[in-house]
Chain A
């Protein structure tokens, strides 16, 4: 078997019941699987939630991840959509330390990244930015010189392109 670590994107449809997230995340920790990102929210049908996961591992690990997830009674469907055409997004709020004279500069950079300035304080700004890793990483790198006070990220959410469902 080829041992090569890959990043996998897994979409998990679960029943919207208390404790489901604990079952899923507990499974990951006790089986030694590494989660890079986890995002959860209800679907269009409030009886279900969707958990979007980004997981690292070789093929054997990913196969175990999907099979073990499938064994959870509250899990309806597990789709490894790594190789599908997907739209993947993450929303990040970045609080930057910004003196009044730096505001315009930060605003310009944010605009280039299609970021939105959503708060301005005496010595700080909050920028909202969505996108994929490279874009977000690049933006954060550029903001470092002003000083990053705090960052919060939603985790990645994913959908397969086209009419198909997961």
Chain B
């Protein structure tokens, strides 16, 4: 068989059902194989759209997302998507075409050193130099992408490799001497954790995307049932623990809730699981740690102690470690009632609020609240980046894992819409909604064609403030209101744009039209933009200004 056939067989063998991408010169033989394969192919309109779609697909299914691009510009268009997946630990396999092996290094037409370029933003990458290594590489790529701390793996396939003949089949086993993720947590450390939790007077669970990746939401629930302690989650941890649970204090960090930030500032023992102490979470580092005892459970040893000194490190898979931890915990752990009452008090005295009495203006927070009500909190939500992302995180409460799709680590504008397309491909029956900003949407709006062509009824709710709103908010607060390059003048009218693509478009300019517009948009069975003209200068609060401690939150401005 040819290299191209081997490649497609290999992808299918690894469970690939759908591939997102765009063809081009050097990948013609591969696309020719795709033409008769049982694998579904989704042609996007930009390679960035393809890789974010693969990413969204991976987030909702838990499987590796697969995308393909041609050499040179096709490959370089994947770079943002790789970096995005790398930061958020999303399993992807990206296949790129490369110029023929004989032309590599000669600045051939559409040559780009994509393995060199992507080294820092992939978990691993390969340049295939021998057709006989192709199947081994595909097998390794999926293994590396989906195990341990997941991440993107790129396979660069030179043109001549795709037409050469391949004799060897799949290797019987994977032999990666330098790659052995630790799954089982150290027993003694787990016992130390139990002791620390027993001693704790003000325990708190700080949970993140690692819980979702490990499929440990159920174990987390059982742990919370025993500990009865407050739970705060990161942006990536939305859905790991039901946000409407009485012990949830909501998201922490820069735009976290008052209760979450105050609770972590006052806890004496923090059990951190599948989190990485990101600067957007910790605020000023020296104030964050204090004399808190940190227990940190993570599959990536390099995350432990990276930003914050940890007292009890436990390297392992969150599910596995939690199972053991639950077994080791005394079942009669007494709830820390005084602490619980205090935290409950913070929740009651400082709920999330916004100016609800804004006259005729539609407040963006209100839009998300209504969307939450109308969809009964059961939609899969993706977001763009900026204020829209934070309002979505604050007001759309998630209760299940793999329903929240947001660019956490890289903060990639233009991610949400293509990711929603991928999510819809992975979950055809689900209602998938991109909560968007008018700036971000413009970065990948071309993918409307993809949604229309493949009949993917993705919804885009635009919180249209006419601004690069999050940047404008910082300019208002920290740059004397000098709105340098944040007014999005010249942006199009989105509803007719949607219609021109063959999707549905609805514009909402008055508060009393909102519910009907949302209900109609959610139920029309078509890709739809609902363009909501919101209050232009609404801000996201609470806010921990950059470089400040978590308890220095600003609640209004």
Contacts and interface: CB of A to CB of B under 8 A. Distances in A.
A75 B144 CA distance: 14
Nearest to A20: B178
A73 B302 contact: no
B178 A74 contact: yes
Nearest to A78: B178
B119 interface: yes
A71 B300 contact: yes
Interface size class of B (residues with CB under 8 A): 10 to 19
Interface in A30-79: 30, 60, 63-64, 67-68, 70-76
B300 A64 contact: no
A15 B306 CA distance: 26
A134 to B, nearest CB: 34
A92 B279 CA distance: 44
B40 to A, nearest CB: 30
Contacts of B291: none
A70 B119 contact: no
Contact of B301 (A15, A30, A67, A76): A67
A151 to B, nearest CB: 30
Contacts of B309: 1
Nearest to A26: B119
A23 interface: yes
B365 to A, nearest CB: 38
Interface residues of A, number: 21
Contacts of A23: 119
A22 B116 contact: yes
B120 A30 contact: yes
B115 interface: yes
Contact of B179 (A14, A19, A73): A73
Interface string B301-313: 1100110010000
Contacts, number: 37
Given A70-B301, A71-B300, A15 B120 contact: no
Interface in B292-325: 300-302, 305-306, 309
Contact of B176 (A1, A19, A60, A73): A73
A75 B302 CA distance: 15
A30 B122 CA distance: 13
Nearest to B179: A73
Given A15-B178, A74-B178, A63 B124 contact: no
A67 B127 CA distance: 25
Contact of B120 (A26, A71, A73): A26
B119 A71 contact: no
B177 interface: yes
Nearest to B153: A73
B300 to A, nearest CB: 7
Contacts of B116: 22
A60 B305 contact: yes
Contacts of B123: 73
Contact of A71 (B115, B176, B302): B302
Interface string B412-443: 00000000000000000000000000000000
Contacts of A22: 116, 119
Nearest to B315: A67
Contacts of B301: 67, 70
Listed residue (B124, B144, B300) with the most chain A CB atoms within 10 angstroms of its CB: B124
Contacts of B124: 73
Interface string A1-21: 100000000000011001100
Given A71-B300, A73-B124, A15 B305 contact: no
Nearest to B181: A71
Nearest to B124: A73
Listed residue (B124, B178, B179, B301) with the most chain A CB atoms within 10 angstroms of its CB: B178
Nearest to A19: B115
Nearest to B149: A71
B119 A15 contact: no
A73 B306 CA distance: 20
A76 B305 contact: no
Contact of A76 (B115, B119, B177): B177
A15 B179 CA distance: 12
Interface in A59-106: 60, 63-64, 67-68, 70-76
A162 B439 CA distance: 64
B144 A73 contact: yes
Given A1-B309, A63-B305, A70-B301, A75 B119 contact: no
Contacts of B127: 18-19
B385 to A, nearest CB: 23
Contacts of A74: 178
Interface of A: 1, 14-15, 18-19, 22-23, 26, 30, 60, 63-64, 67-68, 70-76
16 contacts: A1-B309, A18-B127, A19-B127, A26-B119, A26-B120, A30-B120, A60-B305, A63-B305, A64-B302, A67-B302, A68-B302, A73-B123, A73-B176, A73-B178, A74-B178, A75-B178
Given A19-B127, A60-B305, A64-B305, 18 more contacts: A15-B177, A15-B178, A18-B127, A19-B115, A19-B119, A23-B119, A30-B120, A63-B305, A64-B306, A67-B301, A68-B302, A70-B302, A72-B178, A73-B123, A73-B124, A73-B179, A75-B178, A76-B178
The 7 closest A-B pairs by CB, nearest first: A67-B302, A73-B124, A76-B178, A73-B179, A75-B178, A30-B120, A67-B301
